[in-house]
Amino acid sequence: MGRKKIQIQRITDERNRQVTFTKRKFGLMKKAYELSVLCDCEIALIIFNHSNKLFQYASTDMDKVLLKYTEYNEPHEKHEG
């Protein structure tokens, strides 16, 4: 039996939203780490919460990854929400 599908929409209850944010942030950072190890790739993950608190993960030096990103001029895959 699989997991129940949830509807993706803003969580109205502040406490539930914060708990979900914390759990999903941890899961996202874990996935980023796993991807960097399994596929030998550089990853930079930047998250700002609703009160503009910064959370970040980088598989190597964040500044080096961001510099590489800003200097990259080739066509590339891009996803925006």
pLDDT tens per residue across span 30-57: 999 999 999 999 999 999 999 999 999 9
- Which residue type is seen at 38? L
- Please give the class, per CATH, of domain 14-71: alpha beta
Q: Which pLDDT score, from 0 to 100, does residue 19 have?
A: 97
Query: pLDDT averaged over the chain?
Result: 95
- Of the candidates 10, 79, 14, 18, the one whose C-alpha atom is nearest the C-alpha of residue 49 is 18
Phi-psi region of 66 (alpha: psi -120 to 50; beta: other; left: phi over 0): alpha
Q: Which pLDDT score, from 0 to 100, does residue 28 have?
A: 98
Q: Which pLDDT score, from 0 to 100, does residue 17 have?
A: 96
Alpha-carbon torsion (11, 23, 57, 75), positive or negative: negative
Q: How far is Cα 75 from Cα 26, in angstroms, rounded to an integer?
A: 31
